[in-house]
Structure formats: C-alpha cells, structure tokens
Amino acid sequence: MKDFVLDSMRRQGRLLALDLQSRAGDMKGTELYAESDYIPDFKEAVKVKNMMERTADMKNGFVCKSSAGLIVRLIQNYDSDTFTAEPEDLPAQYGYVWSNDPKKALPFVSLATSPYHKGNCCIENDTVFRSKIGNNIHAPSAYPEGWEAVE
C-alpha cells in the first residue's frame, strides 16, 4: 500500500510540474515563486533531458531552479550537453525571475539581461527593497531613488 501511495504522489507531482511548464511562459515571477515546489532543479532537469525533450523541450520559457536557488527562465534554446554550466554562468541563455512578494525576496543580483521590474523585491544588507522603476539593474545602495524599503 505504501508503494502505491508514493507512486501515486510521484505521478501527481510530475503532472503538476509538466502543467506548470506548459504555463510558465505566460507566468510572472511572483506566480512562479508561488508554485516553486513544481519547478525542477537545473541539475535534475539536465539529467532527465530526454523527458524534457518530449515535454517542455527546454525551449524558450522553460523554468528551473539554479543551484543558488534562483528561478530562471530559458530565454534562448541551447544544447545542455555542450553547455553544461549553471544558469548563473549562462546569462545569454537564462534570465532570472524576480518576485513581488517580499517573503520571496532574494539577494540583489546585477545583470543587464535580468533587470528588476517595478514591484520586484530584493534583499541588500539584510533589508528587503521593492523596485520603484522598471528595468532596474542598480543595487538599492547605488541608486536609492529606484528602490523603497519594505516594512
């Protein structure tokens, strides 16, 4: 009975993960972080690449979590057998996804291909900040006019 229950839970989780991938291209960062339990880790996604080729095909919009815990969206198709680096080391292929939820805020990262949009949150010096502008690539300490502290 225990094996049946575990197998059923795995199947259900896989179906939910595949469903999320089918919707990921249209989802905002806050929505993705809310369903992050169904987003695969990058290394696991590469291991099951043959499964992804049949389903999500690692095409534009595919989302996964980097080893650093960041949700990233594939912005340019590539061959993960040739380019094996983590998403943080492949900024031409992956863009970070940010959340508007202060509870999901992550340390600030400056990357021109992954700007913060108006409302996105980050952490700098143990303080959560919300971007007041779109296309924000400046740290709160470097451009305070572009950020507000979240209480």
Q: Tell me the per-residue pLDDT of 45-94, one tens digit each, with 9 for 90 and over.
A: 776 654 444 444 455 578 889 888 889 888 877 667 777 788 888 877 88
Q: Model pTM?
A: 0.77
What pLDDT does 5 receive? 56
Dihedral (CA of 19, 22, 26, 32) sign: positive
Mean pLDDT on 94-117:
92
Other beta carbons within 10 angstroms of residue 56's beta carbon come to: 22
Instruction: List the domain boundaries for the chain.
Output: 1-97, 100-151
Q: For residue 18, give both structure tokens.
A: 């595949």
Which residues face 66 on adjacent strands? Answer: none
Average pLDDT, the chain: 84
Task: Please report the pLDDT score of residue 25 as a whole number.
Answer: 82
Pairing of strands 127-131, 147-149: antiparallel
DSSP per-residue string spanning the chain: -HHHHHHHHHHHHHHHHHHHHHHHTT--HHHHHHTGGGSPBHHHHHHTHHHHHHTTTT-TT-EEE-TTS-EEEE-S---TTT--S-GGG-TTTEEE---S-GGG-EE----TTSPBPTT-EEEETTEEEEESSSSB-S-TTT-GGGEEE--
Q: How crowded is residue 68: how many other Cβ atoms within 10 Å of its Cβ?
A: 14
CATH 2.10.10.20 fits 100-151, yes or no: yes
Least confident of 23-37, 45-59, 89-103: 45-59
Q: State the pLDDT confidence band at 147, using cuts at 50, 70 and 90.
A: very high
pLDDT of residue 145: 97
User: What does the angle CA 109 – CA 82 – CA 21 come to, to the nearest 5 degrees?
Assistant: 60
User: For 118-135, how does the pLDDT look when each residue is reduced to its tens digit (9 = 90+)?
Assistant: 999 999 999 999 999 999
